[in-house]
């Protein structure tokens, strides 16, 4: 219901965007799935990648340009794709499906988000008009029939005159994606491509793929005039590009490429200084990509986490919601690996987050107005949620006051629709049984689908062990099967129940696997239960527990969870001293 039903007067902007994008995505399947159908499941991406790009970006951008969905794609689909495809247990977009057990498992971020990201990169490279003309040729030639990848390539090749298989085959048929390392050399830069893995450097046999990488080199002259050279393609391991490095430059302009870019610390500092300027030559899409790359490259040990924090700190004057969203997402990832570190480290980290978010709350306030732009609405919502999550006392007090009025009177008019989730979650997190019982009642009789989701996530936010146990018991007795994921997701996000949700999954393994038999949600439950853990010991224990069990229906999700735990463990070991020291200085 949350994907199709909407009360315009009571729903928040996030709910409106979800209904619009899901509806548009599903309508896109009339062409990509119905009019032309994939020949077999290994070509699932021809359905889902196209529905993601066409339905959630190209069409929606025409209807709701104020949502900036092409830019938001970077922080939603591209980020999801790059996160999952950076582990060893990822899979190619076009993946063999030898048995039925794997079909449900490939409805994942690779078939949807990476496929959509590669198509977006191709569209940007050949031009959207040419891309859509090629897609039209493909659809016309295969109407009411089946298709495979090469059929699409033929259509776009006919429209563009380019060798599309040469350009794209490795992006579709090979696992992973590259990181492009940039070094200054003489009168230009030397760039090198290697496979990117989130847990560190790949072995030689993991680093054999050479991708055709559109580098999209952005430069600015002395007057500040910006140009993007889309003709430069890195088609070998290493290449030198003539460039005036004394002027601002950046690769992967507009963050349209499916790869990461690693600059030297000196280069990143210069780029960060330019990005922080009020009229920077680097667009909001560029700044989003910089924040994401800096953090995730640190995770892999390619750079220091403190350098990513320096970059984020330099963007304190940022005005765009989507850049702040990228910052919040990356700080959230760092927060998750620090969750069992000493209290002083965690409090210093929260103090840094408050220093970023509280000024935005003070500027934007708590009230929403009809004249507010989509950016203002979303930035206000984000800032309040992030400041509350970082334990800002003023923000928590304000949200608590609004919830208390609702709790005592049943009148929710003091809680704006866009703040319902944050208000509910913080009420339970900082309250007790009375607050939990209130949101439980909302769950059972929710006024809107989005209020129901907010109530589910709030029910899992308690710090009280007894309430946590009661909530988990409630999941098996009173929760509809389609709602289960929200409870698992919420419990995994709660520091007090993160370990408990994994134990709960193991204790109820037979019940859960039977309940979700033949349902692709099972893979998500496995991930929510285990992938937020952060030690090698955790990974070993999870692996040992599943040995001897039939994991054929979720073996991909399990392997990816184990890889994620190990990558996070390595990141923590590499960065904990660096981050603790940086946070101490930031506090002074």
Contacts of 510 (CB under 8 A, 6+ apart): none
Alpha helices in 161-264 (DSSP H): 164-173
- The three-class DSSP label of residue 560 is helix
Q: Which of 26, 158, 496, 573 is catalytic?
A: 26
Is 66 noted as a catalytic residue in this protein? Answer: no
Tokens linked to 475: 């999941």
Is the separation of the CB atoms in 41 and 103 below 8 Å? yes
* Cα dist from 137 to 62, 120, 160, 167, 388, whole Å: 22, 18, 11, 19, 51
Gap between the Cα atoms of 214 and 230, Å rounded: 7
Gap between the Cα atoms of 468 and 500, Å rounded: 9
Strands 188-195 vs 238-242: parallel, antiparallel or unpaired: antiparallel
Gap between the Cα atoms of 237 and 218, Å rounded: 21
> CB count, 10 Å around CB of 150?
12
Q: Can you give the length of the chain in residues?
A: 588
Range 19-36 burial, b when 16+ CB lie within 10 A, else e: bbbeebbeebbebbbeeb
* Cα dist from 531 to 116, 501, 554, 561, whole Å: 25, 11, 14, 5
- The three-class DSSP label of residue 261 is strand
* Cα dist from 219 to 169, 228, 280, 289, whole Å: 29, 6, 12, 16
Gap between the Cα atoms of 67 and 58, Å rounded: 12
Catalytic residues: 26
């Amino acid at each position: 219901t949350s994907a199709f039903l909407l009360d315009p007067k009571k729903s928040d902007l996030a709910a409106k965007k979800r209904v619009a994008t899901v509806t548009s995505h599903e309508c896109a399947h009339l062409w990509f799935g119905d009019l032309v159908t994939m020949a077999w499941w290994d070509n699932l991406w021809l359905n889902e990648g196209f529905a993601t790009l066409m339905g959630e970006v190209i069409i929606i951008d025409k209807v709701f340009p104020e949502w900036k969905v092409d830019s938001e794609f970077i922080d939603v689909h591209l980020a999801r794709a790059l996160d999952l495809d950076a582990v060893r247990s990822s899979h190619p977009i076009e993946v063999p499906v030898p048995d039925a057990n794997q079909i449900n498992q490939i409805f994942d971020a690779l078939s949807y988000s990476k496929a959509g990201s590669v198509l977006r990169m191709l569209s940007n490279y050949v031009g959207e008009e040419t891309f859509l003309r090629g897609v039209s040729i493909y659809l016309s030639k295969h109407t009411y029939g089946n298709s495979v990848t090469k059929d699409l390539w033929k259509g776009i090749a006919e429209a563009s005159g380019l060798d599309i298989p040469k350009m794209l085959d490795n992006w579709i048929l090979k696992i992973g994606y590259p990181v492009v390392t940039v070094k200054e050399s003489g009168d230009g830069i030397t760039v090198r491509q290697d496979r990117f893995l989130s847990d560190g450097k790949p072995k030689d046999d993991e680093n054999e793929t050479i991708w055709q990488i559109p580098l999209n080199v952005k430069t600015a002259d002395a007057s500040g005039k910006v140009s993007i050279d889309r003709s430069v393609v890195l088609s070998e391991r290493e290449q030198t590009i003539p460039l005036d490095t004394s002027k601002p430059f950046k690769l992967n302009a507009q963050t349209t490429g499916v790869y990461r870019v690693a600059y030297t610390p000196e280069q990143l500092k210069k780029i960060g200084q330019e990005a922080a300027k009020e009229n920077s030559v680097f667009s909001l899409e560029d700044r989003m990509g910089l924040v994401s790359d800096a953090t995730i490259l640190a995770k892999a040990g390619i750079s220091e986490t403190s350098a990513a924090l320096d970059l984020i700190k330099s963007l304190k004057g940022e005005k765009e919601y989507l850049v702040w969203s990228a910052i919040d997402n990356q700080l959230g990832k760092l927060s998750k690996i620090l969750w069992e570190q000493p209290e002083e480290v965690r409090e210093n980290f929260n103090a840094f987050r408050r220093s970023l978010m509280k000024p935005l709350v003070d500027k934007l306030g708590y009230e929403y107005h009809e004249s507010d732009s989509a950016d203002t609405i979303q930035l206000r919502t984000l800032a309040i949620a992030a400041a509350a999550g970082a334990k800002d006392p003023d923000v928590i007090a304000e949200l608590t006051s609004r919830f208390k009025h609702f709790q005592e009177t049943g009148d929710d008019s003091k809680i704006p629709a866009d703040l319902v989730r944050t208000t509910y979650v913080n009420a339970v997190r900082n309250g007790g049984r009375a607050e939990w019982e209130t949101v439980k009642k909302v769950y059972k009789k929710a006024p809107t689908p989005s209020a129901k989701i907010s109530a589910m996530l709030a029910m899992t936010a308690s710090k009280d062990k007894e309430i946590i146990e009661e909530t988990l018991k409630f999941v098996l007795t009173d929760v509809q099967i389609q709602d289960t994921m929200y409870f698992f997701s919420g419990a995994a996000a709660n520091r007090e129940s993160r370990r408990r949700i994994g134990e709960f999954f193991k204790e109820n393994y037979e019940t859960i696997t039977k309940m979700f038999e033949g349902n692709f949600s099972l893979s998500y439950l496995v991930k929510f239960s285990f992938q937020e853990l952060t030690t090698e010991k955790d990974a070993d224990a999870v692996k040992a527990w599943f040995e001897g069990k039939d994991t054929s229906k979720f073996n991909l999700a399990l392997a990816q969870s184990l890889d994620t735990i190990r990558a996070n463990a390595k990141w923590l070991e590499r960065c904990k001293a660096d981050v603790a020291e940086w946070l101490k200085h930031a506090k002074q």
